[in-house]
Amino acid sequence: MRIVDIIQRKRDGHELTNKQIVTLLDSYLEGTVPDYQVSAFLMAVYFRGMTDAELKTFTDCMMRSGDLVEFHGVNKFLVDKHSTGGVGDKTTIALAPLLAAFDIGTAKLSGKGLGHTGGTIDKLEAIPGFTFPETRDELVKNVNETGIGIMGYSENIVPLDKRLYSLRDVTATVSSIPLIASSIMSKKLAVYADGIMLDVKVGAGAFMKNEEDARLLAKTMLGIGKSFDRKMVVHLTNMDQPLGLAVGNSLEVIEAIETLKGNGPEDFTQLILHLTGTALFLNGRAETIEAGTEMADRMISTEEPLEKMRMFIRSCGGDAGIVDDYSRIPVATNTLDVLSKESGYVSQIEAEEIGKAAMILGAGRPTKESVIDHSVGLVLNKKVGDKVKAGEKLATLYYTGDEHLQQASEKTVKAFSFSIEPVPASPVLLDTIQ
């Protein structure tokens, strides 16, 4: 069948066969189908969606377009926790040592931050001496020895996704749920994990702005995961305010460690415990997620997760002394308190604005090429539901140069909305879908 006929079938709402999908994608990868035909196909998918069978084949083709990473020889139950990107999201850094304390391994590829959202790779690179494994063998060695293996994405993991994403970006088809779901899931499936936990962020600062779309995305990804026989749970979590209090690389590492010491912000601690409970459930060690969460709650107050954190940092050549002495991790010494101009109850903290304020200070990358400053960022002093008086501190900015300080301060103030009526604290966990 000619490519134009495949596009036409999709346009007219017919289900494509496996062979038609494979022909289209493989030919595109080989360079025998031009961008304009694939763009037309993506637009047809945008309007017509994909059936479960089409999605499975489409995701499978994407996944096989590059390297598949398997972990033969790893002697642990492996989980991969992935979030759709948030502000203040230091989850992996606290979660992996807590899971390791239960002998559950984390083997994952992580990304660098871009724009207002940060990346796990940048956060961990704030630790002096820390470098990531570069080969699969090193990754496996780290998982076996410490329970934690994290490395950066290689160019050759799902290369088709990069090409399709570039087309989606310029054809207004990024927001198609089946295209997002297959893009995320192909990358998750290309790197083997026994259990997949996806965290779909919902709210003003997130990719999914409302719960209805987020739930649809979650169910679509779950369907794909199940069709590949993977154990999987999807959480919907709140991004109507940043996660925790710290935003910025070193500051977030410190907050993750404090959380393992039992001193973390309430929302972040709750999320970490729930995710650990989910992993214990997927591993069959807890009958329910709630029972697993209770096990996690008992573990977090012990020395075990901190020791796993030290081992993990050491295995990557980093200074494990930071766990007990935060003066060993670079934190900017210049600070500015951002004060409230209004009185009332905090009703929202726009995560995107806060992420941009941190980026302006140098914590994030406006472009892929930008160099970041690990030492800068901000720490919130108020969260949704808190009562604030005019003149009270909303946040503290940590900065090195004061060139953009005023702009960052203004953005931070602007991020806060107030209500004169009391506002309930915002729950971090909106739903769990399995």
Q: Give the whole-angstrom CA distance, residue 140 versus residue 374.
A: 28
Q: Per CB under 6 A, which of residues 324..363 are in contact with ligand URA?
A: none
Q: Is 417 a catalytic residue?
A: no
Is 183 assigned a catalytic role? yes
Mask for 42-81, x = binds ligand URA (CB under 6 A):
----------------------------------------
Pick between residue 46 and residue 77 the one whose CB is nearest to ligand URA.
Answer: 46
Nearer to ligand URA, 157 or 397 (CB): 157
Our CB check for ligand URA shows the closer of 117 and 340 to be 117
Question: Taking CB under 6 A as the rule, does residue 256 contact ligand URA?
Answer: no
Q: At what angle do helices 35-48 and 18-30 cross, to 10 degrees?
A: 140
Q: Could you give the CA distance from residue 189 to residue 227 in angstroms, rounded to a whole number?
A: 11
Q: Are 271 and 92 in contact (CB under 8 A)?
A: no
3-state secondary structure of 325: coil
- One residue of 117, 173, 183, 278 binding ligand URA per CB under 6 A: 183
Binding-site residue total for ligand URA (CB under 6 A)?
Answer: 5
Of 183 and 315, nearer to ligand URA (C-beta) is 183
- Work out which of 140, 184, 202, 361 binds ligand URA, going by CB under 6 A: 184
Q: Name the residue with tokens 């090193």.
A: 138
285 is annotated as an active-site residue:
no
DSSP for 80-96, please give it.
EEEES--SS--HHHHHH
Whether the Cβ atoms of residue 303 and residue 309 lie closer than 8 Å to each other: no
Q: Is 168 a catalytic residue?
A: yes
- E strands of 42-194, at which residues? 77-83, 104-110, 148-152
Distance of alpha carbon 31 from alpha carbon 279, whole angstroms: 41
Cβ contact 200:237 at 8 Å: yes
By CB under 6 A, name the one of 102, 207, 398, 399 that touches ligand URA. 207
Part in contact with ligand URA (CB under 6 A); list of ranges 1-9, 58-66, 178-186, 376-384: 178-186
Tokens of 49: 């969606």
Beta carbon nearer to ligand URA, 59 or 283: 59
* Residues contributing to the site for ligand URA (CB under 6 A): 84, 180, 183-184, 207
- Cite the active site residues: 82, 161, 168, 183, 187
